[in-house]
Amino acid sequence: MNNFKTIYAIAFLVATTMFLSSCHKDKAQPDLGSGPVTLHFDSQAGSGEFAFGTNYVTANGDTVNFSKFNFFVSNVVFVKTDGSTYTPPKDSTYRLVVESLEESHDLTINNVPSGDYTGVKFVIGVDSLKSVSDISQRTGDLDPAGAASDMYWTWNSGYIFYKVEGTSPQAPYDPMMMGKMFFYHIGGFGGYTTADVNNLRNVSLTYAGEAAHAGKGKAPEIHIYADALQLWKSPTVFSIVAHPGIMVDPFSSTVADNYKGMFTIGHIHND
């Protein structure tokens, strides 16, 4: 009988130890999984919807009618509610948003670790390292002979980070285009071999509402509004009369400082 009690006690002790060890392991190394998170870019004009062929009024009082609205985003970083961050592989974060192409408005990043995210950071433009990398490493949205052909200066060997075009009665008459045109083609990452204008801009957004819940079996969407009229608004209000067209020009940095502020998180969808 004593032997039986001893064996029973040992078996109970072993079972209890294994159970406690398992519980401790579960707490120390939880399997939270990962999943996709999509950034969806919605264009706006002030507080209203954006549409081509529609007249809008800038902060300076000029009338504008857009025919093109494109921009690059890259180098995305997700921010959790506790302030910690997740940085995806950089090559998965390049997106050329073309307003006229609905399919370009979504940037889906896979394998985002489980967590609650209320912030996102990104760069407007294509960083210097990628801009000077071998052409074989610049595919998809970055292909100068393909998707990015309208957003690349072959004569200047560089990406156009932001491109807006349209008409305005305040713009001078362009005999070649046969109209009163405005255009802003902004690029420049600091120069290849010598210092040059750097119009890369960092954006940091936070959302006060419900967080994006990422993880296995989840696919949240963060809807980001891009206000096209912010271009002329702040921190520097300027007129189309003074600056109807900008490309390689010192004033391009003022334009970049303005459009940096065009983004806000409108809402978040959780599946």
Question: What are the tokens at 247?
Answer: 């490309």
Classify residue 8 as left (phi > 0), alpha (psi -120 to 50) or beta.
Answer: alpha
Q: How confident is the model at residue 259 (pLDDT cuts 50, 70, 90)?
A: very high
Mean of the pLDDT values across residues 182-191?
91
Mean of the pLDDT values across residues 27-36?
68
Mean of the pLDDT values across residues 225-246?
97
- Helix (H) and strand (E) counts in the chain: 3, 17
Its pTM stands at 0.86
Q: Does residue 9 register a pLDDT over 70?
A: no
**Predicted pLDDT of residue 176:** 78
SS3 40: strand
**Predicted pLDDT of residue 174:** 86
Mean of the pLDDT values across residues 27-55?
86
Annotated domain spans of the chain: 1-30, 32-269
**Predicted pLDDT of residue 28:** 40
Q: How confident is the model at residue 39 (pLDDT cuts 50, 70, 90)?
A: very high
**Predicted pLDDT of residue 16:** 45
Mean of the pLDDT values across residues 244-252?
94
How far is 83 from 207, CA to CA, in rounded Å? 13
Torsions phi, psi for 11 (to 5 deg) = -60, -40
B/e letters for 55-83, b = 16+ CB within 10 Å, e = fewer, are: ebebbeebebbbebbbbbbbbbbbbbeee
Q: How confident is the model at residue 8 (pLDDT cuts 50, 70, 90)?
A: very low
**Predicted pLDDT of residue 193:** 66
Q: How confident is the model at residue 155 (pLDDT cuts 50, 70, 90)?
A: confident
Question: What are the tokens at 212?
Answer: 């994006």
